[in-house]
Structure 1
């Protein structure tokens, strides 16, 4: 599929075998033995054949055919050209090519295979997740009734009080709950966008059966009731009455900004050259294409878009040509201006998409996981937005596994990560990272093939009656999901990491310093001491954590006080190092000034030498010209000498001829020349 993560492998082998049955390479379709050849063009059919063989048999070891017909030779070439491609990658590409050629193939598989139509909901795995219960004494759950949705099955309770309470019924901490929702359930999807605005969760677009969606669904967080907004796109200026349909997309980012929603990027059927920025106004129900200033990045999907103050930081993704990216861009939202941040130093994360990003202390951008075409990552990278320097700090606690297509949200200094997939299957655990100490811990783990262990799901956070809640929706793990799950974090992960793991190392403290000052920690200790003990029940399997006695609070206060002293000592050490660095900087600046003066003196001398050299070059040119003239004169003199010698020789010869002529004339009786007359 067009927006599927290449490395997740979540859709395979189930969807692959359905696709191969439809294409005629598997199963027993009623058409000819090679229906793909008649359904697709020759090059597509050959590509599908090679991918199918690679996925089911492995790399081609059959010798090249010699006496076969050209069709068999082409099939061998297609298979052999895939080399040592992994079977999971071949499966993924097989489904992707099929969905690009025929997006609606999945709905026609049973009919073409000559099999009865099977209710997809009957094939859904039984998920044993707790449901909402208003009864705290273990009484039975309220009775529910089943209603049909647009493309799935949803439950709606008879008890109106249960619905009216909404998130207030979630009593357990650190457990994913499947609440009862009402209204028309949205179509299952993944790689959609989700955001919370005014106690409502907005969900836009996504991918379903290879098709991009453009619907805008809203879940009222007070009543947990779904509804659909009939939104349109504004074509032209704001005062224009011309509207058009909203462009379907997937892999985009949905960000709340003020009273509106911003949609950044995403894969579309006809992608533009640069990334699209759209704005949705809930009051007018209109989408507007925003005009930006500066140089926008190229279009992409699967990127991360992180809100940092009044700016939006875009990283990575996959462009329209399926090339992975690791570039960084900043959009100033107040002026809608793109800023060039190519001057960042250090080693950035490798090109990837389907990763998660978060901001800590309005200064540090954290990038975790993601995938390339063949590999999933579990690395953590940090960008200091003040110094624009990339770093890869040391992580503590549990080691998260590689994943792509996961989702993350921040609650205070905690960063929650859930979902995603790798080359084997979906990721079942929900993690939390203390961004102040970079300590990972596991919040909870789901069992079985449930929507929470999916790729391309969305995760948002909201506050209800002073408590935080995480909401997950959608995803893809072999089937498209449209369920909603809720988790109420206990916020104990940070305290547990401090008590169990101890203070963070110096390296981590330098990379991401804590945001609490010593005065803040004193106030926190005093507030903790004076506050009444509140029972916090954490049900994680068979374990329960209860804070009941004053002694526990005192031990916690002592631990915090010890940590404060260590932080103060670290701060003094850093201040001393700061002073030393400043002194070294002053010395360097002084030396730099001296070197600058010396450089200027050398430059002056060099300029004088260059002037002298130029004068010498002019003199040499004049001398060369004179030498050339002297050579011409010498040639002329030599020529004159030869002419003179020739003339002298001619005169001598004439004189000799004149003398010898008089003697012969006398002998022959010829009178000689007349004698001069006398006076």
Structure 2
């Protein structure tokens, strides 16, 4: 079997990339700097120059180093990157072609999951979007009969990953969306629709629906509706199609856009795209039932194109806040789109406006107040909370209490009653691991407007928001990501009394994710103390375990029989209300029962605190390992740079020695010239004496001539 690849470019590159992703048996482990080089060349060859923003700091320098290595390739052409990729692989593994053929030959006889993963990676490399080298293959399809409804898979107070199936995938792998972040999601009926996103620096145009009762993913093919755009623009949108290519090139590839459900349709606003040309903010209308999309014309003066903005639906008005333009400039303006007339307007708002930002989240409270939290710009990351009164058109900042909140951007939020849940996000240091709950009940002013609404507005601005940490995840968990899509789910037919369910999808935490997680929010009473710090929040979020249940049952088992009967008797809770109704005073609880209850509560709190500490320690260990890996990668790069610097220093020293030798000869020449100058100066000095002596002789001659003339 020949060890040289006979294929021509670009097939030769794709084969080499497949070998690098597959790493079959017999392949040599590559040094970290070579892995980094191959990753950068592969991205340059398949995606093009690096135009993605620098990743947020996640406590892991590997992703930042990979981003920097790709960025340093500049505008290198795709074919040149392919050639250098194959050349680098040939130098490290000359027999890679033979090993790849052996691996593929073995895969034909007995299916190999790793080989199948390599084939999937190569197939995706030939498409419009390039998968991440570290992204594992998608899990196999779960049997459809064993998958419960999405809401039924939720557990109170704990994030759980959702088991899903793919529609029409019988006999094969279940289909589900590619990993992504900065996608947008909305609920219409019994389906959650996910549109677009960013994967590996590539904008996606695919549209997916998740049927909540059956937990089934379906890829939707949208067709262009009656409202047609210009042919050139449509061609450009088709050229920027998503990785799945299933949208038929119709729906544009977007990331950082917003989607709002209204009257059974999806209103998609703005978003970043391949084209960076300035222009108005586009509106796209998606009809999920007809599976069409269009660009309806709007009236009024539209805002500038942007992405990373926040959109809030108030009645039939869509309020758009902040965002960033194509030049990454943070915006702080507010616009309103009337969905009935499709008319844009820019209200005049008073009060201290928040600084420009993007990647923030906003929510509507009491059908009047818009709250905006967090966000960031190129150089800043915020943790402030702002309130916009849509009646008085005035900005304000309510007071805040409770848990200490760290700055974040790229987070997502959903409002359940008077509680605003916020998940994910990150800053320039690390990802955010806490699920926040903002109790908005202290804002007030929602029952009446008072005199012209000013009393209610003042009450809301003078109110306060209480922060709590209701759950916590590990640092590298999918929920510790930026660019997550978060929606509140309606109750299912099997659980009609459980509407407090959150669904999170996607994100980026150093890796692009397509994880689907569900969370049933606990009831948070306004009078409870809440969580005062991050550590307590993590403790409160720990799920109960079998050991906890055993310890809780231990005091009851050790109690006297009378106390056990008081604790477990099912008739006692019913007897007390009956006695009260009859006018008889209820029997007081015995001190032993109270003591047992207090002990059980203490045991539960200790177990929760221990679980929170364990999670925090595991997160710290993972963070340390990631930091060590990043430091090793950076050390390899520094070693290469040091070797280059040492070579340059040796050449500089050689040039310095030559310069010193030349300087010595020049100094000797200068000394010789100085001696000659001294001799010339001495001669010039004697020449003056000779001139004076000559002048004396001339005077003497003239005098002698005059005397002779006088005597004659």
With structure 2 as the length reference, what TM-score do the two structures score? Answer: 0.52
Asked whether the 8 Å contact 1:162–1:169 carries over to 2, the reply is no
Please state how far the C-alpha of 1:467 moved relative to its aligned partner.
1.1
The structure 2 residue matched to 1:195, chosen from 162, 173, 186, is: 186
> 1:154 maps to which residue?
139
> 2:480 maps to which residue?
453
The structure 2 residue matched to 1:336, chosen from 339, 342, 352, is: 342
Query: RMSD between aligned alpha carbons?
Result: 4.5
Please state how far the C-alpha of 1:448 moved relative to its aligned partner.
3.9
Aligned-partner SS, 2:508: coil
The structure 1 residue matched to 2:498, chosen from 448, 451, 467, is: 467
Asked whether the 8 Å contact 1:173–1:538 carries over to 2, the reply is no
> 1:515 maps to which residue?
none
Please state how far the C-alpha of 1:459 moved relative to its aligned partner.
0.4
> 1:136 maps to which residue?
none
Please state how far the C-alpha of 1:498 moved relative to its aligned partner.
2.2
> 2:260 maps to which residue?
255
Residues 157, 105 of structure 1: alpha-carbon distance in 2 compared, 3 angstrom cutoff:
farther
Residues 110, 434 of structure 1: alpha-carbon distance in 2 compared, 3 angstrom cutoff:
farther
Please state how far the C-alpha of 1:233 moved relative to its aligned partner.
2.7
> 1:177 maps to which residue?
160
Aligned-partner SS, 2:371: strand
Tell me whether 1:402 sits opposite 2:407 in the alignment. yes
Tell me whether 1:276 sits opposite 2:282 in the alignment. yes
Residues 395, 538 of structure 1: alpha-carbon distance in 2 compared, 3 angstrom cutoff:
closer
Asked whether the 8 Å contact 2:41–2:85 carries over to 1, the reply is no
What is the CA–CA distance in structure 1 between the aligned matches of 2:576 and 2:542, rounded to whole Å?
19
Tell me whether 1:217 sits opposite 2:246 in the alignment. no
Residues 444, 263 of structure 1: alpha-carbon distance in 2 compared, 3 angstrom cutoff:
same
> 2:529 maps to which residue?
500
Tell me whether 1:380 sits opposite 2:385 in the alignment. yes
What is the CA–CA distance in structure 1 between the aligned matches of 2:418 and 2:83, rounded to whole Å?
48
Tell me whether 1:323 sits opposite 2:307 in the alignment. no
What is the CA–CA distance in structure 2 between the aligned matches of 1:312 and 1:169, rounded to whole Å?
32
What are the superposed Cα offsets for residues 4-36 of structure 1, whole Å, 9 maximum, x if unpaired?
xxxxxxxxxxxxxx9xxxxxxx9248999x999
> 1:432 maps to which residue?
437
Asked whether the 8 Å contact 1:454–1:475 carries over to 2, the reply is yes
Structure number with the higher helix fraction is 2
Asked whether the 8 Å contact 1:188–1:482 carries over to 2, the reply is yes
What are the superposed Cα offsets for residues 501-556 of structure 1, whole Å, 9 maximum, x if unpaired?
79xxxxxxxxxxxxxxxxxxxxxxxxxxxxxxxxxx98646789999979999xxx
Residues 285, 392 of structure 1: alpha-carbon distance in 2 compared, 3 angstrom cutoff:
same
Asked whether the 8 Å contact 1:104–1:210 carries over to 2, the reply is no
What is the CA–CA distance in structure 2 between the aligned matches of 1:250 and 1:432, rounded to whole Å?
27
After the TM superposition, which residues 528-539 of structure 1 pair with which residues of structure 2 at under 5 Å, given as runs? none
What is the CA–CA distance in structure 2 between the aligned matches of 1:403 and 1:325, rounded to whole Å?
17
Asked whether the 8 Å contact 1:29–1:112 carries over to 2, the reply is no
Residues 539, 322 of structure 1: alpha-carbon distance in 2 compared, 3 angstrom cutoff:
closer
Please state how far the C-alpha of 1:373 moved relative to its aligned partner.
0.5
Asked whether the 8 Å contact 2:361–2:375 carries over to 1, the reply is yes
Aligned-partner SS, 2:319: strand
Please state how far the C-alpha of 1:290 moved relative to its aligned partner.
1.7
What is the CA–CA distance in structure 1 between the aligned matches of 2:305 and 2:410, rounded to whole Å?
19
Asked whether the 8 Å contact 1:104–1:209 carries over to 2, the reply is no
Asked whether the 8 Å contact 1:360–1:413 carries over to 2, the reply is yes
Residues 347, 204 of structure 1: alpha-carbon distance in 2 compared, 3 angstrom cutoff:
same
Asked whether the 8 Å contact 2:183–2:484 carries over to 1, the reply is yes
Please state how far the C-alpha of 1:156 moved relative to its aligned partner.
3.3
What are the superposed Cα offsets for residues 369-420 of structure 1, whole Å, 9 maximum, x if unpaired?
0011122111000011111111111111102111100011111111110011
Residues 180, 29 of structure 1: alpha-carbon distance in 2 compared, 3 angstrom cutoff:
closer
Aligned-partner SS, 2:441: coil
The structure 2 residue matched to 1:207, chosen from 193, 198, 203, is: 198
Please state how far the C-alpha of 1:211 moved relative to its aligned partner.
0.8
After the TM superposition, which residues 558-573 of structure 1 pair with which residues of structure 2 at under 5 Å, given as runs? none
Asked whether the 8 Å contact 1:278–1:289 carries over to 2, the reply is yes
Residues 102, 405 of structure 1: alpha-carbon distance in 2 compared, 3 angstrom cutoff:
farther
Residues 325, 31 of structure 1: alpha-carbon distance in 2 compared, 3 angstrom cutoff:
closer
Please state how far the C-alpha of 1:358 moved relative to its aligned partner.
0.4
What is the CA–CA distance in structure 1 between the aligned matches of 2:412 and 2:515, rounded to whole Å?
15
Asked whether the 8 Å contact 2:41–2:70 carries over to 1, the reply is no
> 1:135 maps to which residue?
none
What is the CA–CA distance in structure 1 between the aligned matches of 2:513 and 2:505, rounded to whole Å?
8
> 1:638 maps to which residue?
none
The structure 2 residue matched to 1:481, chosen from 513, 534, 539, is: 513
Please state how far the C-alpha of 1:454 moved relative to its aligned partner.
0.6
What is the CA–CA distance in structure 2 between the aligned matches of 1:539 and 1:228, rounded to whole Å?
36
Asked whether the 8 Å contact 1:193–1:252 carries over to 2, the reply is yes
What is the CA–CA distance in structure 1 between the aligned matches of 2:519 and 2:410, rounded to whole Å?
19
What is the CA–CA distance in structure 2 between the aligned matches of 1:352 and 1:319, rounded to whole Å?
11
What is the CA–CA distance in structure 2 between the aligned matches of 1:395 and 1:106, rounded to whole Å?
52
What is the CA–CA distance in structure 2 between the aligned matches of 1:162 and 1:87, rounded to whole Å?
39
> 2:309 maps to which residue?
303
Aligned-partner SS, 1:315: strand
> 2:243 maps to which residue?
none
What is the CA–CA distance in structure 1 between the aligned matches of 2:83 and 2:509, rounded to whole Å?
20
Residues 110, 100 of structure 1: alpha-carbon distance in 2 compared, 3 angstrom cutoff:
closer
Larger Rg belongs to: 1
What is the CA–CA distance in structure 1 between the aligned matches of 2:78 and 2:574, rounded to whole Å?
62
Gaps of 5+ in 2: 1-20, 22-31, 97-115, 125-130, 132-136, 167-174, 236-247, 443-464, 532-539, 554-566, 578-712
Asked whether the 8 Å contact 2:356–2:377 carries over to 1, the reply is yes
Residues 448, 322 of structure 1: alpha-carbon distance in 2 compared, 3 angstrom cutoff:
closer
Aligned-partner SS, 2:307: coil
Aligned-partner SS, 1:292: coil
What are the superposed Cα offsets for residues 437-478 of structure 1, whole Å, 9 maximum, x if unpaired?
211111100124111111111001112223121111111111
> 2:152 maps to which residue?
168
> 2:225 maps to which residue?
234
Tell me whether 1:422 sits opposite 2:427 in the alignment. yes
Asked whether the 8 Å contact 2:270–2:283 carries over to 1, the reply is yes
With structure 1 as the length reference, what TM-score do the two structures score? Answer: 0.54
Gaps of 5+ in 1: 1-17, 19-25, 56-85, 118-146, 503-536, 554-679
Residues 210, 196 of structure 1: alpha-carbon distance in 2 compared, 3 angstrom cutoff:
same
Please state how far the C-alpha of 1:298 moved relative to its aligned partner.
0.1
